Amino acid sequence: MKKSIKKLAAAGLSFTSIASLVACGSATTTTQSTTEGNQVAKPDLITVMEDNTVTESNGAEAFYDYMEQLTGLNIKWIHPDHSGYYDTVANAFTSEDTMPDVVLLSSDYYSVYASNGMLWNMTDAYNNSDLKKSGRLVSTANDVVNACYVLGEDGKKALYGFPTQQGGGSVTYVKSSWLKQAGINPSDLEGKTLDWNTYYGYLKKMADAKQHYVISSPGFVSPNAPYTNYLPEFYQNAQFSFYQTADGKYVDGFTEQYMKDALARIRKGVEDGVLDKESVNNSTANCRDKWFSVSPDSESGVFTYWAGDWTYTMKSTLEKRNLDTDVIMLNPIKELGAYLNTLPTTWSITTACKNPEGVFKYFIETMLDGGDIQEAWTYGAKGTHWDTKAETVTLQDSDTSTTYKEGEFHHLPSPEKPYQLQMKNHIDPLLALAKYQNTSTTPNGDDPGSNVIPEVSKTAEQFFLEHSKMDVALPVNADLSENITDINQARTYVVSQVALGYMTVDEGMDYYRNTVGSKVDTVVKSLNK
């Protein structure tokens, strides 16, 4: 096992580089809880490896102390550097002696470790939980949790990790100023469901008016699932990878006509000057820079990116740069149907944990307790990241102060960046899977911090949730894990070569079949056993 995991750690964070782990096996078998919640013993010590909480420089120790005060748990926190988080996870999983009790995993890693027998089956623990019986779960919670059922070591689907929130996702933003310059009335797009031909016609008009690209995307295909997320209108129903059809059969989506049509649309977009040629090498940072550019030569006018907090950041940044802040969130075009709600990160309990039922009940389940603990996971430590006491808050280098009354929730200056407010911790308040309990301070289960969430963020996230569907996890088995790296490398190469005009669509598909066709056949056959 150690050799395979070391290979994974060195290769990077995408699924294509981690899947080799699944074939190596585990010395610990997966177990399942059948214990009712009220019979579970509280753990003496929990080792937690986590990523998406406040950093050490931004008040992590205060958060840890506050959390242990609220929960009464003795917790050993392991917070690796974000850039090397999954390297650290992989190294920890080389031995049961170094595995944490709890680990936070992205969807790709979660599937791999579950299929390798390294994660505890929490299906019964969740089904018997007070949380599930509470009535506080949001209407979409069931869909989100169901999307987290993955194949275990026994080849059966089960819940090996619990999400505290929806994954969220991206919508397509269009600058009204670009539409107007091209002679297009923004009202022709806002709130309308366009078809592809109409939408592309608008893109072409904007490209002609600006005399350069309209869309700059982080790659013509994303290196991670959902692979087609940043050019959804071009991909439409095309599937980059293997998927299960309505009749239960697994197929290779990359070879289907949907993908061929998508590649043709992307190629035409580059030829027509609609798509930025540099998208092949773009990072998300490059794309943000072009979206915010004040230079007419480098600015982009359409950008598919995150909803929610990003929307607020986007508008405030445009305002600071004296750019037009009037931006339309485009309804999914007719052929697309819905944006993708990405698979969330999950909290998993490892098979090294001596009391998994207790860890689930007293640590994971309490993250959505509808009270103080959920508030801490959402906003951080009281007195460090937020407070409700009467006080005046002034940001560093700011002439503006805000005075709050006793009991009024408010953010505090970030310990790391005191010139801005600390806005959130691990749980996005707009995506949380459970509401708060009804109290005098949280009537109707209102988030105690809802009054300080920008309305533009709320509106954008609600727009996304109303126009999205849940993504589906890729099944993992030994044959797929052995071959997926080479297959995805070939797919990505074909997309880039076709997009830039170095191959026709047919030539690209011939290359794909000649390069990895036998490996694709092996995977499809294996998935359909």
Element (H, E) at 468: strand 468-470
Percentage with pLDDT > 70 across the chain: 92
Q: What is the mean pLDDT of the chain?
A: 91
Q: Say yes or no: 209 and 227 in one domain.
A: yes
- Residue ending a domain, choose from 415, 442, 469: 442
pLDDT for residue 2: 37
12 in a domain, yes or no?
A: no
Q: Say yes or no: 249 and 269 in one domain.
A: yes
Nearest to 134, CA basis, from 364, 411, 428, 445: 445
Q: Looking at 160-174, 230-244, 293-307, 472-486, which range is the least confident one?
A: 472-486
450 in a domain, yes or no?
A: no
Q: Say yes or no: 46 and 29 in one domain.
A: yes
33 in a domain, yes or no?
A: yes
- CB neighbour burial string for 156-177, b if at least 16 within 10 angstroms, e if fewer: ebbbbbbbbbbbbbbbbbbbbb
Q: How confident is the model at residue 145 (pLDDT cuts 50, 70, 90)?
A: very high
Q: Is residue 273 a contact partner of residue 213, using CB atoms and an 8 Å limit?
A: yes
- CATH number of the domain where residue 128 is located: 3.40.190.10
Residue type, 426: H
- CB neighbour burial string for 210-231, b if at least 16 within 10 angstroms, e if fewer: bebbbbbbbbbbbebbbbbbbb
Q: How confident is the model at residue 29 (pLDDT cuts 50, 70, 90)?
A: very low
Place of tokens 């150690």: 2
Which carries the bigger pLDDT value, residue 39 or residue 287? 287
Q: Is residue 129 a contact partner of residue 37, using CB atoms and an 8 Å limit?
A: yes
Q: With a cut of 60, say whether residue 374 has pLDDT above it.
A: yes
pLDDT for residue 329: 98
Q: Is residue 54 a contact partner of residue 63, using CB atoms and an 8 Å limit?
A: yes
Q: Say yes or no: 89 and 219 in one domain.
A: no
Nearest to 103, CA basis, from 77, 83, 129: 77
Q: How confident is the model at residue 5 (pLDDT cuts 50, 70, 90)?
A: very low
pLDDT digits (tens, 9 = 90+) for 146-191: 999 998 888 889 999 999 999 999 999 999 999 999 999 999 999 9
Q: With a cut of 80, say whether residue 398 has pLDDT above it.
A: yes
Q: Say yes or no: 406 and 512 in one domain.
A: no
- Residue ending a domain, choose from 422, 442, 462: 442
Task: Give one DSSP letter per residue of 354-405, joined into a string.
Answer: S-HHHHIIIIIGGGGSSSHHHHHHHH--BTTTEE-SSEEEE-TT-S-EEEE-
Beta strands, E only, 191-270 = 242-244, 250-252
Tokens standing for 252? 């290779």
Q: How confident is the model at residue 11 (pLDDT cuts 50, 70, 90)?
A: very low
Tokens standing for 145? 């949790």
Q: With a cut of 60, say whether residue 479 has pLDDT above it.
A: yes
pLDDT for residue 439: 75
Q: Say yes or no: 420 and 365 in one domain.
A: yes
Q: With a cut of 80, say whether residue 4 has pLDDT above it.
A: no
Q: Say yes or no: 88 and 192 in one domain.
A: no
Helices (H), 116-169: 123-127, 130-133, 141-147
Which carries the bigger pLDDT value, residue 35 or residue 10? 35
Q: How confident is the model at residue 467 (pLDDT cuts 50, 70, 90)?
A: very high
Q: Say yes or no: 179 and 160 in one domain.
A: no
pLDDT for residue 474: 80
pLDDT for residue 473: 83
Q: Is residue 101 a contact partner of residue 350, using CB atoms and an 8 Å limit?
A: yes
CA distance 433 to 167: 10
Q: Say yes or no: 219 and 368 in one domain.
A: no
Average pLDDT on 36-54 reads 86
Q: With a cut of 60, say whether residue 31 has pLDDT above it.
A: no
Q: With a cut of 80, say whether residue 194 has pLDDT above it.
A: yes
448 in a domain, yes or no?
A: no
Tokens standing for 185? 């009335």
Helices (H), 28-175: 60-71, 85-92, 107-115, 123-127, 130-133, 141-147
Q: With a cut of 80, say whether residue 20 has pLDDT above it.
A: no
- Residue ending a domain, choose from 393, 424, 442: 442
Nearest to 121, CA basis, from 98, 96, 155: 155
pLDDT digits (tens, 9 = 90+) for 406-460: 999 999 999 999 999 998 899 999 999 999 998 777 777 889 999 999 999 999 9
Q: With a cut of 80, say whether residue 85 has pLDDT above it.
A: yes
Q: Say yes or no: 407 and 483 in one domain.
A: no
Q: Say yes or no: 90 and 216 in one domain.
A: no
16 in a domain, yes or no?
A: no
Domain that includes residue 517, residue range: 170-337+477-527
Residue type, 202: Y
17 in a domain, yes or no?
A: no
Dihedral, CA atoms, 7, 9, 11, 15, nearest 10 degrees? 100
pLDDT for residue 26: 39
Average pLDDT on 202-222 reads 97
pLDDT for residue 361: 97
Number of structural domains the chain divides into: 2
Q: Say yes or no: 196 and 307 in one domain.
A: yes
462 in a domain, yes or no?
A: no
CA distance 129 to 264: 49
pLDDT for residue 476: 82
261 in a domain, yes or no?
A: yes
